[in-house]
Amino acid sequence: MKIKKMDLFSLIKKNLLLAVLCCLVLIKGFANEQIITKTILLDCLELNKMEQSTGRPHIVSERANLSIGGRRFLNGVPTRTESSLYLELDGKVSEFSAEVGVDDRSTLFRNDTVKKENSWAQFFVIGDGKVLWQSGEMKYGEYSKPVKVNLSGVKNLLLKVTGGPGNTHVDWVDAKFNFSGAIPETVWSPEAKVNIVKSTEFVHQQNLKYPVPRINGAMKVGVRPNTEFYYPMAVTGLRPMKYAAENIPEGLVLDEKTGIISGTSLKAGEYNVRLTASNTKGEAQRILRIVVGDKLALTPPMGYLSWNVVEGLINEAFLKELADVFVQFGLRDVGYQYINMDGCWQGGRDAGGRVYPDQFRFPNGMKVVGDYLHEKGLKFGIYSTPGPIDCAGYTGTMNFEESDVESWISWGVDYLKYDGCTTPPERSAELYRKMGDLLRQSGRSVVYCGKKDAGSQLWRVGGDLRDQWSLGGRDVGIVQSFKNAQNRAGMQEPGRWNDPDMLVVGIRGKGSSGNDKTDEKGCTDEEYRSHMSLWALMSAPLFITADVRQIDPVSLEILTNPEVIEVNQDPLGKFPVRLGEEAEQEIWVKEMEDGSKTVALLNKASVEKEMKVKWEEIGLKGSHLVRDLWHRKDMGKFKSLFSSVVPSHGVVLVRIY
């Protein structure tokens, strides 16, 4: 995330006005009865389901900067052409009103050479398949046009914008619904629904293809003495599944129906627990090493971070839907645990200095969110900064460290991402260490992403990763991010991890921050597969940022390959070693705890190449079994070397036994 200078008074004023408008209730009296007509802003609905040509919609803030024809607007939904938002109504929405127009901002990162003065757009309100209102062609610099549409009886609504020359900034401002029944609900586009159906079928087919239980995820976990322990077994295979565990330490219990081991660990030491998962097709067993002591995150954390795609549209409904999908699509079953909010969740501080969430996006408070995630076998992560405000201008933790930690612990937080942003440089080291100390003393084993040598379990080692194979400057692509981690390979060990930034697999050009440096459509399947391979080799934290609620099946397959994830979660946590010098074709070798070696043939060139690794180069002699991890099949025994044609920007990932 990037630092944004904001007028705090203006931000507070805007949020208060928005809050009032979000829940404005008008009561109209009639002779024999009262009909309550409610009004809700379009801004206050779940907008993550809006589809647009590039980027994502935003909430209104300084970064949105809404202005049409020189006139500024307090609230609205900025988007791009082409754009569509589908809604389901109950027939009791009486009216939709708004003003629309081409935003005064230039259209950035366009491939064409057309000036912004030639940008144009058309707005449509379509109900039950019929055009109820259209703007006609609107040009850059023109005043906004008012919209007022009778929606009585309408069940399906589409707000659509077309235009040119491409990716033009456009706005629905002061947009609101008057309704007497249920709140209008945003729904997925037909294209997104196709992805959901395909991914659901993919999960079903995977269970049929690999029906026998397989235990995945972290097999060595750390927890502090006398703190709550929570470990959901990650198991793939046909359901229903039975779970069992032997030699569980005193104070912990296994829920045999869910496979969750929980309780309060007591004494320092290492405990070997034999896990068993069984179904009608077979049984799997593995040893889980529980280390009660000072170290956490003994294998790299895995989960979700909301910034690259969701940004300021984070809300309770999104997090709950995301948790449901992590279970439905098998992400939890291969080891992803943490559902982490990035910035923009904060509402402010009360009179006593206690931080509270935005009350309209989190109407039930944060503890409800944490409890929901835990019930789903997941963990809860939060975001803040040592500075006074975070990168997006929301409430920071500076001078409220003790209070914030108390709040987070009461909400059930399991992970903290602490981002520098507005932190005073001269106090940075002190403030990061203070947070590390407070978390250590909090009575909860909270994984901490902060600064090295500040009590953190992981820390960033480079610029913000974009949904691109290669980029220059501070904001990097996959190649540069991998390079940044190589330069710091000696810094990491189990419990102390380099973080080269989040996974961009599955964004496909539809990110917000993930795609704000280019107009291209994100990475290819091959590049996504290479991205996942390299992060697995590096033992990098694996945090998905695509909206997996409507992810495509190819991306889902890349993210959920348990054999690739096993490389990432290997307890040795070794950084791979490159054979030879840096080049367009590179061979990387990772030592595994069981004595095997994982080898990656990496082709950074723009054309495919045949590559080979000789056994003598990696300290082997004789015949060895080679297993292709992406195809999940044995390739056979090879006497002296292994070779393969590697696609452009691709990786062939094998494990040698």
Antiparallel, parallel or unpaired: β 260-264 and 228-232: antiparallel
CA geometry: angle at 281 spanning 278 and 283, to 5°? 30
Q: Which of 333, 342, 419, 475 is catalytic?
A: 419
The token pair at 202 is 């993919």
Contact of 216 with 335, CB cutoff 8 Å? yes
Alpha helices in 117-260 (DSSP H): 190-209
Q: Is the peptide bond before 424 cis (omega within 30 degrees of 0)?
A: no
The 3-class SS string of 295-351 reads CCCCCCCEEEECHHHHHHHCCHHHHHHHHHHHHHCCCHHHCCCEEECCCCCEEEECC
CA distances from 396 to 385, 390, 424 (A): 5, 5, 12
Contact of 275 with 288, CB cutoff 8 Å? yes
Place of tokens 């992590």: 326
Task: Work out the burial of residue 152: count CB atoms within 10 Å of its CB; fewer than 13 is exposed, 13-18 middle, 19 or more buried.
Answer: exposed
CB neighbourhood size of 247 (10 A)? 11
Annotation marks residue 516 as catalytic: no
- Taking the CA atoms of 558, 559, 563 and 569 in sequence, report the sign of the dihedral they define: positive
Contact of 307 with 513, CB cutoff 8 Å? yes
Residues with Cβ within 8 Å of residue 430, at least 6 apart in sequence = none
Q: Which of 404, 464, 519, 547 is catalytic?
A: 464
The token pair at 476 is 């990097």
Contact of 259 with 333, CB cutoff 8 Å? no
Between CA 136 and CA 428 the distance in angstroms is 53
Between CA 168 and CA 110 the distance in angstroms is 9
Contact of 401 with 439, CB cutoff 8 Å? no
Contact of 517 with 289, CB cutoff 8 Å? no
The token pair at 94 is 């009486």
The token pair at 118 is 């030639």
Annotation marks residue 419 as catalytic: yes
Antiparallel, parallel or unpaired: β 260-264 and 252-255: antiparallel
What is the identity of the amino acid at 396?
G
Active site residues: 419, 464
